[in-house]
Amino acid sequence: MADEVQVSLRGTAPLIALDIRGEVTTFADEAITSAYQAATQQGARYILFNFAAVDYINSSGISIIIGLLGEAREAEQGLMITGLTPHYRKIFDMMGLSRHAAVFDTEQDARRSLATN
C-alpha cells in the first residue's frame, strides 16, 4: 500500500517553495529529498515547505524533515514551514521542530519575514 505524494518546486532563489501534496510518510522520502536537492542546486538560500495540501503526516514523515533540517544547517540554508493544520503545528512544536525551522501561518508571512530581515 504505497502512499502517494507529489512535490513541486515553485519560485526562484533565494526562496524556493516546495509544494507538497498528499501524505508525508516514509514513502515520501525520495520525492521530498529530491525536491530539496533540486532547490539547493537552483541556489535556494531559503526553502519553504508548504504543507497546505497535506492531509496526513506521521513520525516517519517528520523524520524526513528532521533529516533535511540537518542538511540545510550544514548548507547554511534557512528552512521555513507553512500550511500546517493546527494539530500538526502542535506536533511540530512538541517535537521541537519549530525551534529550528520558522513556522508561518501563511506563505505571505514567510516572504514578509525575509523582506524585513
Partner 1 sequence: MGKEREQEVNRDIELYIPSELGWERPAADLVASVAKRMAFPPERIDDIKTAVTEAVLNAIEHGNSLDRTRRVLIILTPESDALEINVHDQSATPLTIDADSIAPPSIEDRLAGVTPARGWGTFLIRTLVDEVEFSYTGEGNVVRMVIHLGT
Burial class from Cβ neighbours inside 10 Å (0-12, 13-18, 19+) for residue 7 reads buried
Judged by DSSP in three states, 11 sits in coil
Q: Confirm or reject binding of residue 96 to partner 1 (CB under 8 A).
A: yes
**Which CB, 37 or 108, lies closer to partner 1?**
37
- 102 lines the binding site for partner 1 (CB under 8 A): no
How far is Cα 105 from Cα 20, in angstroms, rounded to an integer? Answer: 16
Q: Which of residues 46-85 bind partner 1 (CB under 8 A)?
A: 56, 58-60, 62-63, 66-67, 69-70, 73, 85
Contact 51, 61 (CB under 8 A): no
In the complex with partner 1, the residue whose CB is nearer, 74 or 116, is: 74
Residue whose CB is less far from partner 1, 9 or 27: 27
Q: Are strands 5-10 and 15-24 parallel, antiparallel or unpaired?
A: antiparallel
Is the bond preceding 14 in cis, omega lying within 30 degrees of 0? yes
Please report whether residue 3 would count as binding partner 1 according to CB under 8 A: yes
In the complex, the residues that contact partner 1 under the rule CB under 8 A are 1-3, 23, 25-27, 56, 58-60, 62-63, 66-67, 69-70, 73, 85-87, 91, 94-97, 99-100
